[in-house]
Amino acid sequence: MGSALPRTVRAVDTSQLLDLAQEAARHGFSQRLPVAWLQAHLAAEATHYLFPTLVQRLTHRPEVPLQWRCQQLLTVCTGEQIWGLLDVLPETFDKIPETLDAAFKKDITNCIEHVVTVREWVERMADGQPEEMTSP
């Protein structure tokens, strides 16, 4: 636990991801998707991935705890994978079990670089043009 950013990827199921989003909302973290949006769009039985990339300290808001900004690879109800951001408390992230091997973690970080963002996916869905499924 602490502020040292781990260079790892953690896997969570949809229920765990919803809990992380609720925690981020309770703390008023700026990088999070609304829980209701996640409930409506995530694939219920999917695995999602978190990759910490930035230590976030809000010196202008001292009441907000330190957080790790994570890139997240989400699987949505269409089967596609999309990229977003989620701020997570370090102690919460540390409680997520380490279950992935190094090669799979590398595949996930490479995949994150090539999938559409949440915003792009939402715009595409509004236009009625779902993209092909992308997986690591």
Determine the Cα–Cα distance for residues 71 and 8; give it in Å rounded to an integer. Answer: 11
Looking at residue 63, its pLDDT comes to 79
What's the predicted TM-score (pTM) here? Answer: 0.87
What b/e readout covers 79-91, taking b as 16+ CB neighbours within 10 angstroms?
ebbbbbbbbbbbe
Q: Which two tokens stand for residue 56?
A: 């976030």
Looking at residue 13, its pLDDT comes to 97
Determine the Cα–Cα distance for residues 124 and 105; give it in Å rounded to an integer. Answer: 28
Looking at residue 36, its pLDDT comes to 94
Q: Which helix (H) or strand (E) holds 68?
A: strand 67-75
Looking at residue 130, its pLDDT comes to 54
Show the CA angle centred on residue 25, arms to residues 55 and 60, nearest 5°: 50
Nearest Cα residue to 82 out of 39, 37, 59, 48: 48
Q: Are residues 84 and 49 in contact, defined by beta-carbon separation less than 8 angstroms?
A: no
Q: From first to last of its 136 residues, what are the pLDDT tens digits of the chain?
A: 456 899 999 999 999 999 999 999 998 888 889 999 999 999 999 999 999 999 988 777 777 788 999 999 999 999 999 999 999 999 999 999 999 999 999 999 999 989 999 999 999 888 876 544 343 4
